[in-house]
């Protein structure tokens, strides 16, 4: 049976990329076929190489140029792109070539605390400063207006009076690890059913 081939794009620690790679290890129908990062230091690169998953580090200029990333995805016959803490904007050429086929995870309940400049710990700081009573994660499809693609799933956590950005970040990571891989799997299955 032909596998659905996913490319994971990651920039930082890589905990979400690693959770995805682990989840799809030996999966009967879905394969992690490529890891792309814009950082040599991305924590997902070493685990990818240990798992014999192809990986590429592209410069920010290459990511933005509308050709390099698209060609790389085509070379690896990628069906689905998963943004797992990828902190650069995806070029329009890629968005158009993968309609409803790019999934992003965002560490807040969108549409709140989304948009330009809102990523990683910045989001948690903003949630704490706004005295919100809850936060969470949004897993969504990427369209031409980045954070505005349709939501696949949202999961909430309470924000307690004694939480700070660091403790909130910890709760969010726990949610991400628990739900992101299975939601990605469910979404892919819904496309191929």
Residue numbers of the site for ligand GAR (CB under 6 A)?
Answer: 10, 12-17, 84-85, 105-107, 119-120, 123, 172, 176
Q: How far is the C-alpha of 115 from the C-alpha of 87, rounded, in Å?
A: 12
Nearest approach, Cβ of 135 to ligand GAR (angstroms)?
11
- Active-site pick, 27, 106, 124, 150: 106
Nearer to ligand GAR, 71 or 130 (CB): 130
**Cβ distance 186 to 193 under 8 Å?**
no
Asked about 106 being catalytic, the answer comes back as yes
Nearer to ligand GAR, 182 or 192 (CB): 182
Of residues 85, 74, 20, the one with CA closest to residue 47? 20
Structure tokens at 60: 């920010």
Of residues 55, 5, 12, 11, the one with CA closest to residue 27? 5
Nearer to ligand GAR, 4 or 16 (CB): 16
Nearest approach, Cβ of 78 to ligand GAR (angstroms)?
19
How many degrees, rounded to 5, is the angle at CA 19 between CA 187 and CA 44?
Answer: 120
Nearest approach, Cβ of 192 to ligand GAR (angstroms)?
25
Catalytic site positions: 106
């Amino acid at each position: 049976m032909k596998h659905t081939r996913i490319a994971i794009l990651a920039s930082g620690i890589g905990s979400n990329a690693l959770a995805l790679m682990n989840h799809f290890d030996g999966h009967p129908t879905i394969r992690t076929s490529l890891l792309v990062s814009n950082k040599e230091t991305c924590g997902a690169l070493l685990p990818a190489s240990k798992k014999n998953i192809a990986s590429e580090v592209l410069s920010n200029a290459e990511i933005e140029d509308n050709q390099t990333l698209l060609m790389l995805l085509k070379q690896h016959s990628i069906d689905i792109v998963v943004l797992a803490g990828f902190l650069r904007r995806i070029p329009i050429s890629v968005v158009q070539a993968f309609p409803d086929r790019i999934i992003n995870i965002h560490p807040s309940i969108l549409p709140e605390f989304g948009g330009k400049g809102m990523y990683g710990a910045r989001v948690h700081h903003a949630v704490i400063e706004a005295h919100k009573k809850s936060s969470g994660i949004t897993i969504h499809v990427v369209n031409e207006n980045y954070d505005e693609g349709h939501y696949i799933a949202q999961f909430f956590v309470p924000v307690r009076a004694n939480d700070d950005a660091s403790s909130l970040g910890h709760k969010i990571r726990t949610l991400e690890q628990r739900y992101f891989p299975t939601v990605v799997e469910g979404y892919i299955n819904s496309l191929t059913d």
